[in-house]
Amino acid sequence: MFENKENRTELSELGEFGLIDHLAKHIGLSHPSTLKGIGDDAAVIDQGNGQVTLVTTDMLTEGVHFDLGYVPLKHLGYKAISVNLSDICAMNGRPAQVVVGLGLSNRFSLEAVEELYAGMKLACERYNVDLVGGDTTTSRAGLVLSITAIGTAAKNKVAYRSGAQENDIIILSGDLGGAYMGLQLLEREKEVFKANPSAQPDLEGFDYILERQLKPEPRLDIVELLDSLGIIPTSMIDVSDGLASEILHICKQSGYGADLYIEKIPLDPMTISTADAFNLEPVTCGMSGGEDYELLFTIKASDFEKLQNNPLITPIGHITGKGERARLITPQKEAIEITAQGWKHF
């Protein structure tokens, strides 16, 4: 009745990041307690007592973010919580509560919803987080999950994407590319299953990369490690869209360049062998695969000694000059400019 049909710009022309940038331009901040709005892993709200509240939200929709053809509901619940806790950790914060919005079509039974909640509960228990609220409603189209995580940090320890400085060391927790290879494996088995529904999925021996895809863990241990060593990262982000995309966020928001060394990028042997079997370049899987939920952060060179030889982390490069670009340095010392692969659903 009231629809305006005159102008029409397709969302696909902007892409996800473009749309968010476009909308964020028109959003002002005026509440005195808001320290950071859109544009980081979580919003930062001042409590006025030296502490901040961190808030992050994610919406996951069936057929876009997950395929119930091969993602068990319990794993989906676990992952949905994990990835939000990861965003709190990426501010150098500690998650404490989550609220859950759930849209369900009548395809779902109570038992299915219980499975989903069992997974969410497991993740909450593991990270000492309380599920404190939610909204459960009908959806016309499959499952929609909306998770908001709440956490806290000391105000002077919050790590923004924008704080990296020249000569800071770039550090990565864990290894990359595993979640992406796990996804390739599941997609392949789904095709086999579609062709022959009596076939059993051949997933044995691939536990590590399957877990990386189906059951990622937020790196709260890294936040605690840094705290115990007295290190405040100068910048931090979690690797949800691939290392390439994340280092570009840090460079863009900090205003500096970065050099990453290809041979330093940590890859698990199973990621490498599976990538080989799929005729994929392992480093590319790490750079662009995404969903690893590792922490990418920068520290002052003077803090590096405290972290050296720690098996949980790998130094992969350093921040370069003001206005420089992000580059990948090959073992032959060639420099390749890193461009956004991003993650475009539209």
Residues 150-209 that bind a second copy (CB under 8 A): 150, 152, 189-190, 193, 201
Residue with smaller CB distance to a second copy, 38 or 335: 38
User: Minimal distance in Å, beta carbon 47 to a second copy?
Assistant: 5
Q: Is 72 in the site for a second copy (CB under 8 A)?
A: yes
Q: Is 57 in the site for a second copy (CB under 8 A)?
A: yes
8 Å CB contact between 159 and 297: yes
Structure-token pair, residue 83: 């990835």
The residue within the footprint of a second copy, chosen from 8, 205, 230, 305 (CB under 8 A), is 8
User: Minimal distance in Å, beta carbon 172 to a second copy?
Assistant: 24
Structure-token pair, residue 85: 């806790």
Residue with smaller CB distance to a second copy, 7 or 309: 7
d(CA 158, CA 51): 10
Q: Is 279 in the site for a second copy (CB under 8 A)?
A: no
User: Can you tell me which residue has the tokens 């595993």?
Assistant: 178
Please choose, out of 51-59, 215-223, 227-235, 277-285, the segment that lies near a second copy by the rule CB under 8 A.
Answer: 51-59
Residue with smaller CB distance to a second copy, 162 or 273: 162
**Max CA distance (Å), the chain:** 66
Q: Is 86 in the site for a second copy (CB under 8 A)?
A: no
Structure-token pair, residue 19: 């749309």
Q: Is 342 in the site for a second copy (CB under 8 A)?
A: no
How far from 332 is each of 67, 259, 288, 335, CA to CA, in Å? 41, 14, 22, 9
The residue within the footprint of a second copy, chosen from 61, 165, 273, 341 (CB under 8 A), is 61
Q: Is 135 helix (H, G, I), strand (E, B) or coil?
A: strand
Q: Is 48 in the site for a second copy (CB under 8 A)?
A: yes
The interface with a second copy within residues 89-148 (CB under 8 A) comprises 96-97, 99-104, 106, 108-111, 113-115, 117, 121, 125, 128-142, 144, 146, 148
Bridge-based pairing state of the strands 326-329 and 144-154: unpaired
Residue with smaller CB distance to a second copy, 160 or 256: 160
User: Minimal distance in Å, beta carbon 197 to a second copy?
Assistant: 9
Structure-token pair, residue 301: 């060179």
Bridge-based pairing state of the strands 169-173 and 326-329: unpaired
Residue with smaller CB distance to a second copy, 42 or 260: 42
Q: Is 315 in the site for a second copy (CB under 8 A)?
A: no
- Number of neighbouring beta carbons within 10 Å of residue 107: 12
Concatenated DSSP letters for 212-262? HHHS----HHHHHHHHHHT---SEEEE-SS-HHHHHHHHHHHHTEEEEEEG
